[in-house]
Amino acid sequence: MEAKAGERIPTGIEGLDMLIEGGLLKRTTVALLGQPGAGKSIFCENFVWEGLKRNDYVLYFVLDFPPWELARRMNRFKWDISPYKSEDPLRKRLYVVDAFSGSTDVPQQTFKEQLFVKNPSNLDEFFAVFDGLLQNVSSYASYDSVIRIVLDSVSPILSMTPDFSRVYRFLRRLVVRVNLVDNAVAIFTAHLGMHGKHIETSLKQLTGNTLELIRRIDEGETRKFLRIEHLRETYHTNKMIPYAIADEGFVINPQALI
């Protein structure tokens, strides 16, 4: 069944949006899987920047690098996030949550983020921060405001929690939570090769939406492809979609499909 107009949220990666009926379906979570260095974070940064340009709300959970690096990373593409972090509630659109330092010896205050998960391997605390922020933002966002959520990446959580059933329950709670908010869409990234097959498969099953970044060496050259493994209620190609990281961020040329 085709989605109604307005039910999709453009990723901001134009070439991809053209291949997925205009964007990601609202009330869904997408698992973005790829090996380290594949471009997962840059994909998310594109998605976030698109949202900020559109006046969407963005909840960005940073787990893989210190949160202050986000501004620097995005500046590389000339995407200035500072105005959106404003404390003026009328202008504030970007909420960065430090879910990094709590799993290191670096004190939280070093990164000056007001929002943080004190102990990211405490999944109940993590969920409470996620749930609280989402509730808070959806309570004052107007009814048609889009809320974009990024968890980059879930791999530290998956790696620091040996109890699989707890991880599964945690991910399930997050996915269901996103699904309850009319205009929300989330991207959860994960590092391929870091987790057991059952964890990867669980992430795919729970979200029902999987994009995979694949690197292949052909005749001595590294080639990068995005594969749409599964996107709910979306007609999509099964071909390998070449992508590049360029000055404009994550770039897909739909004409270059092989």
Residues that bind Mg ion (CB under 5 A): 40-41, 64
Minimal distance, residue 123 CB to Mg ion, in Å: 21
**In whole angstroms, how close is the CB of 64 to Mg ion at the nearest point?**
5
Q: By CB under 6 A, tell whether 17 contacts ligand ATP.
A: no
Q: How far is it, in rounded angstroms, from Cα 149 to Cα 132?
A: 13
Nearer to Mg ion, 64 or 212 (CB): 64
Could you say which of 12, 23, 34, 67 contacts ligand ATP (CB under 6 A)? 34
Q: How far apart are CA 119 and CA 101, in angstroms?
A: 9
For residue 60, give the 3-state DSSP assignment.
Answer: strand
Q: Which C-beta is closer to ligand ATP: that of 38 or that of 158?
A: 38
Taking a C-beta distance cutoff of 8 angstroms, is the pair 147, 141 a contact? yes
What minimum distance in Å lies between the beta carbon of 244 and ligand ATP? 7
- In angstroms, the CA 3 to CA 135 distance is 26
What is the CA 48 to chain-centroid distance, rounded? Answer: 8
**Cα dist from 221 to 105, 137, 216, 224, 243, whole Å:** 39, 45, 8, 10, 14
Write down the least CB distance from residue 31 to Mg ion, Å. Answer: 14
> Which lies closer to ligand ATP via its Cβ, residue 128 or residue 256?
256
Partner whose footprint covers residue 117, from ligand ATP, Mg ion, none (CB < 5 to 8 Å by kind): none
Residues 85, 43, 111: CA angle, nearest 5 degrees: 35
**How many binding residues for ligand ATP (CB under 6 A)?**
13
Among 30, 42, 99, 190, binds ligand ATP (CB under 6 A): 42
Nearer to Mg ion, 96 or 137 (CB): 96
Contact 251, 48 (CB under 8 A): no
Site for ligand ATP in 233-252 (CB under 6 A): 245-247
DSSP three-state, residue 51: helix
Query: Any contact of residue 41 with ligand ATP (CB under 6 A)?
Result: yes
| Helix 123-140, helix 164-179: angle, nearest 10 | 0
Contacts with ligand ATP in 64-103 (CB under 6 A)? 64, 76
CB of 209 to ligand ATP, least distance (A): 18
* Of residues 45 and 181, the one with the C-beta less far from ligand ATP: 45
